[in-house]
Amino acid sequence: MPQIDLKYSNDLKLEIPELFQSIEEAINKIDHTAGACKSRAYPSPVYLHTHFYLRIAMLKKPYRDENFMNKCLKRIEEMVKPILPEGCYYSVELVFSSEYYFTSRIEK
């Protein structure tokens, strides 16, 4: 269950739900065990320079090696660049969750 956090200047006109869905699908094509991506966006009305910062955290697994991470990073960057306007600063960060991270789902 990856976690997606998007922080961006609110002058950007983005289709956030569609972007999150596309990222989740892309991650699951690369890693079919990834599952649902908990995603949230934080538009900022106060900023200096138009920007887009996407951070994706996932659990460390043996097969999530350097090649895997670079493949994910490249694919996500390819998805992000076309939706951003000229002059926009953008960053994409993939990280591993702490070894003390736990995630689950409440089901009754």
Higher pLDDT among residues 103 and 70, named by residue: 70
pLDDT tens for 5-41 read: 999 999 999 999 999 999 999 999 999 999 999 999 9
- The CATH number given to whatever domain includes residue 32 is 3.30.429.10
The gap between the terminal CA atoms of the chain, to the nearest Å, is 19
pTM: 0.90
Q: Identify whether 108 is part of a domain.
A: no
Q: Identify whether 72 is part of a domain.
A: yes
Q: Report whether pLDDT(104) > 90.
A: no
The whole domain housing 28 covers 3-96
What percent of the chain clears pLDDT 90, i.e. is strictly above it? Answer: 92
Q: Identify whether 104 is part of a domain.
A: no
The rounded distance, in Å, linking the Cα atoms of 102 and 97 is 9
Q: Identify whether 50 is part of a domain.
A: yes
Residue 84 burial by Cβ neighbours in a 10 Å radius (0-12, 13-18, 19+): middle
Q: Identify whether 103 is part of a domain.
A: no
Q: Identify whether 84 is part of a domain.
A: yes
The total of structural domains in the chain comes to: 1
In the block, tokens 């350097």 appear at 66
